Amino acid sequence: MNIIPLIEINNKKIQNSELLEKLNEDDLVYVIDIDGIKKNNSNLDIYQKLSKKYQLDIDSAPRTFGDVVDVFMAGAKNITLRKTYYPHIKLESIREITENKIYANIEIYNQTEFYDDFFFEGVDGLINFYSREELEHDFKKLEVIKNISIKNKMYIYENNKQNIEYWNKFNPECFLVDISNYWEFKQI
């Protein structure tokens, strides 16, 4: 089982930053930048510092092609895009500037829109932040996730070891786990 530690940047600070020191140099780290997502204020300076020691998958909700370039220039190995923030992206343009991986966050507005307006064609994988509980209470959303997991590499965010067996039926490529729980998951 492949597990990637997830760190959060919020208010220009890395949450649980002391735990980063326990990682090996060149480890892959998934960075979720709340400032970038909610405030359109990506922490490029923090990415630059982190990228000197780790490989970074950055989820900061870039809104323009220029934002994507900035995130890569700041040290991202891979990026995650969010349709809500960048609805008219042209993946071909990004592919022209990088061979790195491009992921997309799964966003289900209604049960048909995910396929009717498939923003994610051509991405290297999908990131699922929907919880087990959320999917178990929304059968239609669960069916959409099941269907897309058949054809796409899926990266699943999870912090409860008890849910691993549940997610295995979706054939996940890997799990994204908060860095505070990372070593606990590594023992599975």
Task: Give the Å distances, CA to CA, from 171 to 164, 165, 181.
Answer: 11, 10, 21
As a residue count, the chain comes to: 188
pTM for this prediction:
0.94
Q: What is the largest CA-CA distance in the chain?
A: 44
Q: What is the pLDDT of residue 113?
A: 53
Q: What is the pLDDT of residues 92-117, one digit of tens each?
A: 999 999 999 999 999 887 655 554 44
Domain coverage including residue 23: 3-186
Is the pLDDT at 23 greater than 90, yes or no? yes
Distance between CA atoms of 102 and 123, rounded to whole angstroms?
5
Q: What is the pLDDT of residue 140?
A: 86
Is the pLDDT at 30 greater than 80, yes or no? yes
User: Residues 134-138: what's their mean pLDDT?
Assistant: 94
- In this structure, what CATH number is given to the domain that contains residue 56? 3.20.20.70
Is the pLDDT at 11 greater than 50, yes or no? yes
Q: Binning pLDDT at 50, 70 and 90, where does residue 81 land?
A: very high
Task: Give the Å distances, CA to CA, from 167 to 45, 52, 116.
Answer: 35, 33, 25
Q: How many domains does the chain have?
A: 1
59 bridge partner residues? 32, 80
Long-range contacts of 95-99 (CB under 8 A, 24+ apart): 95/122, 97/68, 97/69, 97/72, 98/72
Q: Give the helix ranges, DSSP H, for the chain.
A: 17-20, 34-39, 44-51, 65-73, 91-97, 113-116, 132-136, 139-151, 164-168, 182-186
Other C-beta atoms lying within 10 Å of the C-beta of residue 138: 15
